[in-house]
Structure formats: structure tokens, C-alpha cells
Amino acid sequence: MNQEELINHAKNAMKLSYSPYSNYPVGAAILTKDGNIFYGANIENCAYPSGICAERCAIFHTYMHGYKKEDIVSLTLVADSNDLPYPCGACRQVLSELFPLEGEIIIANLKGKVLKTNIKELLPYTFEPANLEK
């Protein structure tokens, strides 16, 4: 699947956002090795910490369908913003454990700005299960 198709999937996911407080809808699409696409969108709540970002929504959705890190090819994020919708710190931490460290992450806005990266670049010093060992 090409970049444009992946961005279109993330745009479709963005339409599912519930973001009445921030007015900042974000869509995410995860592509698996077998060609499936899993959507995520930010879902807000008036008790702010109770919401979820699009990236975590998409990765959890993927895992809930039986997929794991080794099954994932890419993650695409889209928002209608001037800059790119970079993942927040919490999403970077979750992705560092559940998403391939060098898996492709495409970050785009509706103005045509696009960045290709990976979680290793976005979070170079990960906190991982090995850090819990004494």
C-alpha cells in the first residue's frame, strides 16, 4: 500500500474522532503484514485524562484483533493542523513497546506536509521491560 493510500485511511479514521474540547481531530491507521488496516481516532472526555489518543486507540485496536508487534508494517497519523501531529509522550512510550522500533511511521497534515520516521527516532531512549529488572 502506498503512502497516499495510508494517509487516506488515516483521514477516514480522523472522521471518527470525538474531540469537542480540543477541536483537534486526529486519525491513525495501522497497516499489518497481511494487508489489514486498523483505525484509531482521538476520543475525548470532559474528564480530560479519561480520553485516548488516536495512536493508542489504533495500536490497542490492532492488538485486540490478535496482532502483535511483529505483524505490524506501519502507522500513519493525520490531523488538520499547521504543523504535524507528532505523538505525545504517552503514545511514544506505548508504541516503543507495542510497535516495531524501526517500523514506518508516517505523520501528515491536511496541507500536504509529511514526515516519515520511526519510534526509535521519536523516542531514542526507551523505557522497556528490561528497565524493570533489578
Rounded Cα–Cα distance for residues 42 and 26 (Å): 6
Q: What is the pLDDT of residue 20?
A: 97
Separation in Å, CA 97 to CA 53, 91, 120: 16, 10, 11
- Comparing CA positions, the residue from 21, 30, 2 lying closest to residue 87 is 30
pTM: 0.94
Written as one letter, the residue type at 126 is T
Domains in the chain, CATH or no CATH each:
3-132 (3.40.140.10)
pLDDT in tens, 91-109: 999 999 999 999 999 999 9
- Choose between 129 and 100: higher pLDDT: 100
Separation in Å, CA 58 to CA 89, 96, 133: 16, 14, 29
pLDDT at 27 exceeding the cut of 90: yes
Q: What is the pLDDT of residue 67?
A: 98
Query: Which residues are identified as catalytic?
Result: 55
| Phi, psi (degrees; rounded to nearest 5) at 76 | -120, 135
DSSP string, 20-41: TTT---EEEEEEETTS-EEEEE
Average pLDDT, the chain: 96
- Comparing CA positions, the residue from 40, 36, 67, 69 lying closest to residue 53 is 40
